[in-house]
Amino acid sequence: SFAQPYQPVGIENAHWFMFATTSSILDLHAFVVRGDTMINTITYKKLYYQDFANQWPFEPPYLIEEEHLWGVVRDDSLNRRVYVIAFEPYAYGYHCPVDEEQLLFDFSILPGDSTAHCQTVGDYPWILDSTYVSYKYSANRRTLFTVGWLSTEIYEGIGSDNGLFGTSYQIQGDDEYWLAEYCIGPDEDCGIISGVRDAPESGVEVSIFPNPAHD
């Protein structure tokens, strides 16, 4: 599988649509890669967090309520590694310090090696059991099958089935989160609409009194 072309994370307009459900919340959000920046002479892709209005079923169109810069990522394609700097915590799996570059994925490891620790829980590292190639989201991707506290598959360019930063599907008890969809393209092509929209022409005349008004 080392012969497979490397599949990068930092693809312009790549979207990870995340769905989380707990006993008290329904959380719909996405990460999107958009634009470049430089930190300490190193070039990164900017990673934005998009917060959506809660909706069920979780399918397009997604109504975006707020967007902000969450962090930056970069691919070391030669060594098949992904690095990230998070500017704030993430509730669903990212366990490394913020504001410092961290190794997020290492797809060069061999069976018996431990994976990068940003996505392990407590004292339970993921140990690589085997590697193979999976066809995931329209590409053949090197896949790490890990064992440990929870077994999972980690795909080049994607992360796991729990998203770019997810560690497992289970938060606590029956609470869950997972990657609902991965899409490359502008927001509108991925089914995202803005919370501010023009009202359609109604054809009805409206009069206001008094005119002018002071309040």
pLDDT in tens, 43-68: 999 999 999 987 777 788 999 999 99
For residue 200, the model assigns a pLDDT of: 56
Instruction: Decide: residue 101, CB within 10 A, 0-12 exposed, 13-18 middle, 19+ buried.
Output: middle
For residue 115, the model assigns a pLDDT of: 84
- Which phi and psi angles does 123 have, rounded to 5°? -100, 25
**Model confidence pLDDT, tens digit, residues 133-169:** 999 999 999 999 987 666 788 999 999 888 998 765 5
Smallest CA-to-CA distance from 83 within 6, 8, 178 is with 8
**Is the separation of the CB atoms in 36 and 45 below 8 Å?**
yes
What pLDDT band is residue 175 in, cutting at 50, 70 and 90?
low
**Is the separation of the CB atoms in 73 and 33 below 8 Å?**
yes
